[in-house]
Structure 1
Amino acid sequence: MTERQYTVVRNDEHQYSIWPADRQPPEGWQAQGFTGPKDGCLAHIDEIWTDMRPRSLREHMAATAR
């Protein structure tokens, strides 16, 4: 039995998740070019998602800090 494959996906707020590789990501989510077993995808997300704040919050905070 082969291990299920997942794809790392990201939404417009730059939040990450995983989605079964054999299915189209839900509306609002885009594949990020990394596919593998669940543990590998989650490890990849841990490496790249260093700021958990949504994009809109980061932009708002940057704008109000000026």
Structure 2
Amino acid sequence: MTDVTEDPQSYLVVVNHEEQYSVWRSDRALPDGWNAVGSPAGRAECLARIEELWTDMRPLSVR
């Protein structure tokens, strides 16, 4: 497994219509139905941001 602190890639936090979050490489096109949240950052920073934003793991449609 790769140590996320040594990953030179830039990532984005992305969110879908169900308010589910994920990390996506910033050099790739976003998949349909997903939107970027914020600006590119390291993977660890993106994961920390998701932890702050995604406080209810249930999809929006069942809340």
TM-score normalised by the chain length of structure 2: 0.83
CA distance in 2, matches of 1:11, 1:34: 16
In proportion to residue count, which structure has more helix?
1
Structure 2 residue aligned with 1:23: 28
Structure 1 residue aligned with 2:4: none
Gaps of 5+ in 2: 1-6
Which structure's CA Rg is the greater one?
1
Gaps of 5+ in 1: 59-66
Q: Percent identity?
A: 51
Root-mean-square deviation over aligned CA pairs: 1.3
Structure 2 residue aligned with 1:57: 62
CA distance in 2, matches of 1:18, 1:34: 12
